Every structure is written in C-alpha cells, then in structure tokens.
Structure 1
Amino acid sequence: MLRVKGLLHYGLQVPSLDRGADFYSAFGLETAERGNAVVIRCDGREQDQTVLTEGPVKRLHHVAFAVDTDSLPEWQRHLEGLDMKLLDPPADVPGGLWFRDHEGNLVNLRDEGIAPWRDFGTTDAQDSNVGDRVRRIDQARWLTATEKTRPQRLGHMLIFSTDVSASEAFYTRTLGLRLSDRIVGGPVFMNSGPGDHHVFGFVPAEHPGLHHSSWMVSDIDQIARGAQDMASVGYTKGWGLGRHTLGSNLFHYIQDPWGSWIEYSSDMDCITENWQPNDWADLPAAIWSPEAPADFITNQEEKPA
C-alpha cells in the first residue's frame, strides 16, 4: 500500500501577508517573499514549512505531504483508482498532485525529500544532570539557555473535521497514514510510519479549518524562551507549559492573529511499525499544565459558503 513519507508544509490564506510574516518571524522562523506568497522556513533548513497567500479571510489553504522520489505517476494511478479528481496546481504553489479530500480540504503530494534537521550541536536533553547521571561538568547551562528560540522543523498539525472517523478512514485509504491513538469522541492522531507519534490528526468541529501547527524545538528552555518572547510582542494568549498525554511532548501554545494555535514542542514519543494504537476514554489532553483556554478547541475560521 502506498504511504506518504511525512508532512511537508501547510498553506494558509490570511488577510494580511505583512502581519502573517511578522507573526511567524516573531515565533522564530525565517520568512521570504516568493511571487505573491510569503514562504516560512526554519532557520538553516532548505524546506518550505508554511506558505501564506493573501485573501479576504483566514482559512486553511492546503496541506502538503512528501512522497517517494519519482513516485507521482504511481500516486496518480492510485488516486484515479479511488475516483479522486486531480486539480490544477494553484498559481502560488506549483508542482505535485492536487486534489480535495472528502471535506473539501486541498491536499498536495510532492516528490520532495524531507530536509534534515539543522544541527544544533549538544542539546539540553543530552547534557542534563539528573541524579547521579552527570553529563555536564564545569559548564554553566544558563549561558546557552538564553539563546533565541529557533524551531527545528514543522512536527505535526491537527485540522478540524465534521467527522473524525470518516477523516481517519479517508487519509488511511488515500495517503496510507496510520492510526497512532484516538480519544473516543475526540481527536484522532495519525502517523506516516516510524518516527514521530503523530504528524497529522483531526479535532471534532462543525466545519473544517486549522486547529494548530506544532514546531519542534530542542528543549524546554527553547519552549519557555519562545513563549516569553512571543508574549513580549503582544501574543500573550496561550496554553502551557505542559506535557501532553498522546505523544508525550512538552508544549506551549500561542494563539495566532486569526484564532488558530501554534505550538512549541519538544520530546515527542518516537514509534516504530510495532506501535499498537489505542482508543482512550476520558483522557485529558495533558498530564500536567495550566487549564486550557475555554476556546482552545473552537474553530474560529469562517464556515465555507
């Protein structure tokens, strides 16, 4: 069965490209103009992670997944065998195969390799002193803990869905994503094979949209420093610090200018083909954290006409 290699990037339509660029830059990412779009990348990593286009309202524009090199003809046959209608690429994001999922979300398959992580050198997780396991000697950790937050890569994203079971089935059948875990009556988390516990998933809602994107950073200092820096420029509404249940990652969320969330994340569970998914009942989103904002799972995108 064909399976995508991972999440490449997502596209957002936003009312102001300047405001979008300022927000993502404050988050610690690199921004650049490309034609009529603004492209977001991680510092030192040659891969688009977000593409902003301008429009009257904010909405999720598309989601792009990586597939094996030279495999697009095979993917085209696969999609056509599922009676998927292939579409012309948008002018601002050429290349690959394009189609809409069962809820109208635009999906892009690209035969691009996933860029390697930027080399950070020794991280806090590697040189922590815990109990009698001493790895850092004659070094003052606080001197490096003050470095500006620079996300390493886009880790995952969750989108709103009117039927999370139908969405899980669609992306399993169409893209080969696999279930990681689900909360009964709540979110569904999916993976693209060995690696992060989840790269994609769904949150129940009355109409589609972006819930959040999650960006991997090296350690808890990078999460806390990022949250502090975002608050200093006016982005004070958030949720964190905490540790999630499913995925186990440390997190801090910040609400973006349009009502979605963006997450600093670190220490995600790594799974293999041996991972067994579970259905969890009444599972909290975090094992410890402050209380989540009341509108954390509210879809603030306009309902499509």
Structure 2
Amino acid sequence: MSRTRVGGTDVRTAHQDLHSDQGALRGEHPGRSRNPLIKVADLAWLEFEKPDLDRAEVFARDFGFGIAARSESALWLRGTFAGSPCTVIRRGPASRFIGPVFRAAERADLDRLARATGSDVRDVDAPGGGKVVDLLDPSGFPVRVVHHAEELRALPEQRPLLLNFGTDHRRTNVTQRPPREPSRIQRLGHVVLQTRVFARALDWYLDTLGMIVSDFHFLDGQRERGPVMAFIRCDQGGVAVDHHTLAMHLGPGTGYVHSAYQVTDLDAIAAGGEYLAERGYQRSWGIGRHIQGSQLFDYWRDPDRFMLEHFADGDLFSRDVEPGWSPMSASGLAQWGPPATRDFLGAHPSPAKVREVLHALRGDNELDPARLLGLLKAMNS
C-alpha cells in the first residue's frame, strides 16, 4: 500500500484512519482522470429560480448572506470573502434548482471547453462580468464554467471567539457573549446532487472538469458493483482545498439535495441557528460534526423547502491524498450530534416519491431493485 509524506505527515494513513477501513481494492475506480479536459478551480455560484424574490431575500439575510446585486429579475447573494457571488436566484414561475457554476482557473480553459464540446464562449450575466461556457452533464443538469472579469471586494468578518483550552488561557478578565444574530456567510463550500446515472456523471466531472475524489461510499454487500456516492474536490496540485466541492449519490431522483456555506466557527453556527429558530425556520438536522469532510454542520430549510447548511472547520486536502472507501450508512454521517433525521435523509414517504422510484426502476439508468434495497438499508443503518 503506497503512502505519501507531506510536511512530515503520512497523508495516506491519516486519511484512511479517519475516513475508511481501507483504500481502493485492485481494479476499483481510481477517483481521478488521467487526462482531464481542464481543471476547475472552485465552485463559483449556484443558480436557482423562485417566484418571490422578496421572500427569498428575507431568508437570505436571516441565513447570513449579503446582497451583491438586486434587480426585478434576479437576486445575487454573496459572502464576506472576496471573489464571486455565492448564489443567484432568478425570478421564475416555480421554485427550482437550475445548476452549478464552476470557476475556471484560466480564461484559456473556456476556449478549450468550447472547442471540445461544440459550445460557445459568451458574456456572463453576473456582477463583475466575465465569460462563460454552458455544458450539460449526464444527469441533465446545466453546468456552467465561468471566468470572472472582476471580483467582489471583501466585507467585514464575523470574528472568531477567543477560547480557553485547559491550562491554555487566552482570555482573562473578559466575558464571552456572542450576539444572537445571523451567521455571517463567508463563502459557498459545496453542493450535493442526486442522480440516477451516478457512474456516468462521476466520470464526466472527473474527465471534463478535472475534479478528483476524496471519499467513495459503497453499499454494504455490493462493493463489487462499485461506489454509489462520491465526495469530490477540485485539483489544485499541492494547494489544499475543501474535502468536497461537489458530492453526488445514486438515487431514484435527479436533483438538488443541499448546498453548504462556510461561517466563522461553532459559535457562529449555534448563535445563527438560534436566530433562525426564533424566526420560525425549520432545522433539518444538527448541530454535529461530519465524518467525510469533518465539518461542524447545521442544516436548515428555506421557505421553498431547499436545504442549506452552515458549516465550519472542514478538512482541506491537497492532490496527494488518495480516495478513501467506506460503506454507506446513516449512522456514518456524523462523528457526534443527533441522529440523522428523516427530513435530512429524504425518507418521508409520499405518493410523489413512490412514483419517482417506479419511474427510476423502469428507466435506462443505474438503479435496480438490489441497488434500491441497498440504499434503503443504508438509510436505516
């Protein structure tokens, strides 16, 4: 078993011990492409449609977003960090997720994408301007890759609290009273998607956008059939980046699961959560700490039932860390915290879900009865 030492740390062993029983077996998916078309640098923003932009703005401010721009037809949300906006919500007839927008490392990457896919490079409708290429992934999600002309400037930060640890007393003669106010979003972290064509979609993101896998999940007793979930990060070589920028899992539906936004620390998560609860919003799951990614987390539903996550203190991996492999289970989602809720797992039965499952089982995709039963078992394990 190979190991890589970075700065005196055995990154292969450290990753395995925390995230999986073992690495890949012979012949399993390598978790990266040998010759990707380009390598995206990060998520730029996510795109949604909603009929009521006023209501969307109220929740956005309560959740902790800043407003980058607002018009009659679009609401652009941002974090405190310099860079691109986090989210755009366009006025539309119904609430729906449109797709993710990734940030190109170089302007020339857009030309390379356009030539390879037969697409055009066009102007992007976003604060700061720039160029964009429109793609379509195997699941049917519109995926855009953008190169920004001008970044948003940084905003004032929510400062982390100064903490005392055992005999390490950093704060004396001063009380600790974090205000009960919205968590101040710093940046967009990741998006999670469900797909019926997991293997095809996974290979597309690795081959086309140059992303690499941090962790794979497989179904108990079905490892030989390959993974059913992947936590995928950007490849910036020796620069450590978020454990996952995109996560995908096999399921009967195709759509948005949740998106995650970084805040300062645990107190920002907790105080911001109290603020949201006082205003009548629904917590989906939290507070806890994840296993894959290690983030402190707290999940909420907006008025249109979209799930959003506050997170802090996530793992950062460079290219040297190879994929971990572990069985999928609901109990394996967190190191500590309350059990994963049925709302978070999407396990509330409904006629619509039954129709979705029946449609998936009859379709040309990767879901079959054995896979479905394995997913249901994992959700309840």
Q: Is the 8 A contact 2:110 2:146 kept in 1?
A: no
Counterpart CA distance in 2 for 1:33 and 1:147 is 23
Higher-Rg structure is: 2
With over 3 angstroms needed to count, the CA separation of the structure-2 counterparts of 1:34 and 1:14, relative to structure 1, is same
- 1:2-13 equivalences in 2 (<5 Å): 2-13=38-49
Deviation at 1:133, TM superposition (A): 2.4
* 1:14 lines up with 2:50 in the alignment: yes
- 1:57-136 equivalences in 2 (<5 Å): 57-71=94-108, 74-81=109-116, 84-86=117-119, 95-112=131-148, 120=157, 123-124=160-161, 127-136=162-171
Match of 1:191 in 2: 233
Deviation at 1:228, TM superposition (A): 1.1
* 1:168 lines up with 2:202 in the alignment: yes
Letter in 1 for 2:176: R
Letter in 2 for 1:265: F
* 1:227 lines up with 2:278 in the alignment: no
User: SS of the residue aligned with 2:59?
Assistant: helix
Match of 1:263 in 2: 309
Q: 1:177 aligns with which of 211, 217, 221?
A: 211
TM-score normalised by length of structure 1: 0.86
With over 3 angstroms needed to count, the CA separation of the structure-2 counterparts of 1:294 and 1:171, relative to structure 1, is same
Deviation at 1:19, TM superposition (A): 1.8
Counterpart CA distance in 1 for 2:123 and 2:284 is 33
User: Which stretch of the first structure deviates more once superposed, 58-67 or 115-124?
Assistant: 115-124
Q: Is the 8 A contact 1:27 1:230 kept in 2?
A: yes
Letter in 1 for 2:139: E
With over 3 angstroms needed to count, the CA separation of the structure-2 counterparts of 1:3 and 1:44, relative to structure 1, is closer
User: Which stretch of the first structure deviates more once superposed, 38-47 or 20-29?
Assistant: 38-47
User: SS of the residue aligned with 1:47?
Assistant: coil
Letter in 2 for 1:286: A
Deviation at 1:36, TM superposition (A): 1.3
Q: Is the 8 A contact 1:66 1:114 kept in 2?
A: no
Deviation at 1:97, TM superposition (A): 0.8
User: SS of the residue aligned with 1:19?
Assistant: helix
Match of 1:52 in 2: 89
Match of 1:153 in 2: 187
Counterpart CA distance in 2 for 1:13 and 1:89 is 21
Counterpart CA distance in 1 for 2:253 and 2:140 is 10
Q: Is the 8 A contact 1:67 1:111 kept in 2?
A: yes
Q: 1:218 aligns with which of 264, 277, 280?
A: 264
User: SS of the residue aligned with 1:173?
Assistant: helix
Q: Is the 8 A contact 1:43 1:152 kept in 2?
A: yes
Match of 1:239 in 2: 285
Counterpart CA distance in 2 for 1:188 and 1:195 is 16
* 1:28 lines up with 2:73 in the alignment: no
Deviation at 1:118, TM superposition (A): 5.1
Q: How many residues are aligned here? A: 297
Percent of pairs with identical residues: 26
Match of 1:295 in 2: 343
Counterpart CA distance in 1 for 2:125 and 2:157 is 32
RMSD: 2.9
* 1:42 lines up with 2:66 in the alignment: no
User: Which stretch of the first structure deviates more once superposed, 220-229 or 106-115?
Assistant: 106-115
Q: Is the 8 A contact 2:81 2:187 kept in 1?
A: no
